[in-house]
Amino acid sequence: MTLFRGTFLDTPDDPFTGGRLRAEQDAALLVRDGVIRARGGYADLHRQHPQEEVVDLSGGFVLPGFVDTHVHFPQVRVIGGLGLPLLDWLDQCALPEEARLADPAYAKGVATDFVRGLVGAGTTTALVFGSHFAPAVDTVFAEAARVGLRITSGLVVSDRLIRDDLLTDPDRAREESLALADRWHGIGRARYAVTPRFTLSCTDDLLAACADVLGAVPGAMFTSHVNENSREIEVVEELSGCDYVTSYDRHGLVGAGTVLAHNVHPTDPELALLAARGAGVAHCASSNAALGSGLFPLARHRAHGVRVAMGSDVGAGTGFSLLKEGLQAYVTQQLLGEAGHPLTPTHLLHLATRAGAEALGLGSAVGDFCVGRRFDAQWIKPAPSTPLDVGLTHAADPTNALAKMFALGTPADVRSVWIEGEPVNTPDPHLVG
C-alpha cells in the first residue's frame, strides 16, 4: 500500500446544485491496488499505517486526473490552425492530416504524440475521437494501453461530402467497427465508442450501421458532433430534414451512453430531447472561440437538465490542458453577460473531473478522491518563482488557489500523474521515502 500525502482538492458534490470544494490540507490517501482505501489527516493515517510507503506531495496541490470528453487523436500535429471557420478548417487543416493516418508508421508517431500530450496535461481519462483508418485506431488503443491511459475510442466513419480517401460504406464500417470493438472493448481500461464524424458526412444508411454496432457491443458509448457552426447546421438540416439532435436520435443513437460535442446553437426541443435521453454534451470552449463557432449556452443546458462536461477538442482546441479549457469556459460565460452562467473555480474543477467521469459512465470509478475510487491524480507543483508559484504561495484559501491554477496553469505545472496508483510519468525519486 502507499500513503499519498498532500493537499487534496476535489468536487464530490456537484457545485451546480450547491456542492462545495473539498480541500484537505496535510491529508493522506491510502491506496492499495490502485484504489483509495482510506482518507484522513496525514498524522492519523500514518500512525495507523506506519509501515506503508509515503509519497510526499506537500508544497503543491493534488487534483483528480482530468477527464477530457472530446479530443481527436489524429489532430495533435495540427493544433494552431487559426483563422478559419469549421468547414474550411476541416477541409484545409484537419482532414488532410487525418488522411495521413492511412500510413501505419505515421499513425504510430501521432499516437505517441497524442497520448503524451494528454497525460502531460494531467488528463487520465478521455473519450477519444479515433481515426477513419482501423489500423490507426488499433494504434491509439495500443499506445494508451502501454501508458495506462483510460480511453474510450473507436473508428470514425463517414460516407459523403468529405474527401474521398476518408470515406467508407455501411457494410465496411460495421465490419471494421465490430472487429475493433472485439479487440479492445473491455480490455484493460479501454472501451469502444461508436463514432460517426457528424451527420453532415454520414448518410442514414451509415448511421443505421452505427446503431447496429452500438446494439451489438454492450456498454459501448456513442459520440459525435452536434450544432457546432451555423453553416454546418444549415447543411445538416437540409440533408436530413430534421434538427441535428434528431438526426442521431431517430437511429436510436442518443442515450445515457452518448456524448455529443459542442452544441453551441441548440434549439429548446433539442435540449429537452438530450435531457430526456440522459445524454451528455462536451463543452469545448477554446475550439468554439478559435473557430468562431459561438458562445456556449451553458445556462440553457442547465435549465433543461442536460449534463455538461469539458472537452479540449484538440486540434481545433488550442491545447490539451483542461486548465486552459476551464479558463476559456469561464471567459465564455462572462462574455454572455446576463445570459451567461457564472462559473467559480469549483465549477471549473467539477466540469474537468467529476462531470466528465459521470458523462462517460465512469462516476463510480474516477473523478474525485472518495474512498473506493481509483487513484487517478495529478500533482500541480509549479517551478519556483513562476507567476503560478507566487500566486499559490499567496493564495487566500484553496478556492483562490484553484482560481490561480485555472488562470495561470499549464502542462508545465503538472509535475506528476498517476493512474490507478501507478505513476505515468516518472516522479522525482526523492519524493518516495
C-alpha cell at 318: 488550442
Task: Check: CB of residue 71 under 8 Å from CB of residue 127.
Answer: yes
Closest Cα partner for 422 from 124, 109, 17, 56?
124
Q: What is the DSSP track for 77-100? A: GGTT--S--HHHHIIIIIHHHHHH
For the bound state, the minimum distance from the C-beta of residue 198 to Zn ion, rounded and expressed in Å, comes to: 8
Q: What angle do CA 108, 112, 118 make, to 5 degrees?
A: 140
**CA 225 – CA 264 distance, rounded (Å):** 11
For the purposes of burial, counting CB atoms within 10 Å of the CB of 57, is it exposed (0-12), middle (13-18) or buried (19 or more)? buried
Q: Please say which residue, 313 or 389, places its beta carbon nearer to Zn ion.
A: 313
Q: Please say which residue, 75 or 139, places its beta carbon nearer to Zn ion.
A: 75
Contacting Zn ion within 18-47 (CB under 5 A): none
For the bound state, the minimum distance from the C-beta of residue 43 to Zn ion, rounded and expressed in Å, comes to: 47
Q: What angle do CA 285, 253, 294 make, to 5 degrees?
A: 20
Q: Please say which residue, 203 or 293, places its beta carbon nearer to Zn ion.
A: 293
Q: Please say which residue, 233 or 261, places its beta carbon nearer to Zn ion.
A: 261
**Count, residues near Zn ion per rule CB under 5 A:** 2
For the bound state, the minimum distance from the C-beta of residue 100 to Zn ion, rounded and expressed in Å, comes to: 18
* Per-residue buried b or exposed e for 78-115, using 16+ beta carbons within 10 Å of the residue's own CB: bbebeebebbebbeebbbebbbbbeeeebbbebbbebb
Residue 28's SS3 state is strand
Interface map 217-256 toward Zn ion (x if CB under 5 A) = ----------------------------------------
Interface map 249-288 toward Zn ion (x if CB under 5 A) = ------------x---------------------------
Q: What is the DSSP track for 157-186? A: E--SSS-GGG---HHHHHHHHHHHHHHHTT
The shares of helix, strand and coil residues in the chain, as percent rounded to the nearest 5, are 45, 20, 35
Stretch that binds Zn ion, among 104-112, 187-195, 311-319, 344-352 (CB under 5 A): 311-319
Q: Please say which residue, 232 or 376, places its beta carbon nearer to Zn ion.
A: 232
Q: In which region does residue 278 sit, left (phi positive, over 0), alpha (psi from -120 to 50) or beta (all else)?
A: left
For the bound state, the minimum distance from the C-beta of residue 70 to Zn ion, rounded and expressed in Å, comes to: 6
Q: Please say which residue, 128 or 273, places its beta carbon nearer to Zn ion.
A: 128
Q: Please say which residue, 23 or 161, places its beta carbon nearer to Zn ion.
A: 161
Phi, psi of 81 (to 5 degrees): -80, 70
C-alpha cell at 216: 451489438
For the bound state, the minimum distance from the C-beta of residue 153 to Zn ion, rounded and expressed in Å, comes to: 13
For the bound state, the minimum distance from the C-beta of residue 6 to Zn ion, rounded and expressed in Å, comes to: 34
**CA 114 – CA 112 distance, rounded (Å):** 5
Stretch that binds Zn ion, among 37-45, 206-214, 294-302, 307-315 (CB under 5 A): 307-315
Cis-peptide into 315, omega within 30 deg: yes
For the bound state, the minimum distance from the C-beta of residue 37 to Zn ion, rounded and expressed in Å, comes to: 38
**CA 240 – CA 218 distance, rounded (Å):** 28
Task: Check: CB of residue 148 under 8 Å from CB of residue 422.
Answer: yes
Q: Please say which residue, 74 or 367, places its beta carbon nearer to Zn ion.
A: 74
For the bound state, the minimum distance from the C-beta of residue 386 to Zn ion, rounded and expressed in Å, comes to: 32
For the bound state, the minimum distance from the C-beta of residue 328 to Zn ion, rounded and expressed in Å, comes to: 15
Stretch that binds Zn ion, among 31-39, 145-153, 295-303, 306-314 (CB under 5 A): 306-314
Interface map 347-386 toward Zn ion (x if CB under 5 A) = ----------------------------------------
Q: Please say which residue, 260 or 388, places its beta carbon nearer to Zn ion.
A: 260
C-alpha cell at 346: 469549483
Instruction: State the residue for C-alpha cell 479487440.
Output: 183
Interface map 41-80 toward Zn ion (x if CB under 5 A) = ----------------------------------------
C-alpha cell at 268: 429548446
Interface map 110-139 toward Zn ion (x if CB under 5 A) = ------------------------------
Stretch that binds Zn ion, among 182-190, 198-206, 313-321, 390-398 (CB under 5 A): 313-321
Which contiguous run of DSSP H or E holds residue 387?
helix 387-393
For the bound state, the minimum distance from the C-beta of residue 284 to Zn ion, rounded and expressed in Å, comes to: 7
Q: Please say which residue, 28 or 290, places its beta carbon nearer to Zn ion.
A: 290
Rg, Å, the chain Cα set: 21
- State the CB neighbour count (10 A cutoff) for residue 167: 17
Q: Please say which residue, 27 or 314, places its beta carbon nearer to Zn ion.
A: 314
For the bound state, the minimum distance from the C-beta of residue 310 to Zn ion, rounded and expressed in Å, comes to: 13
Interface contacts to Zn ion, rule CB under 5 A:
261, 313
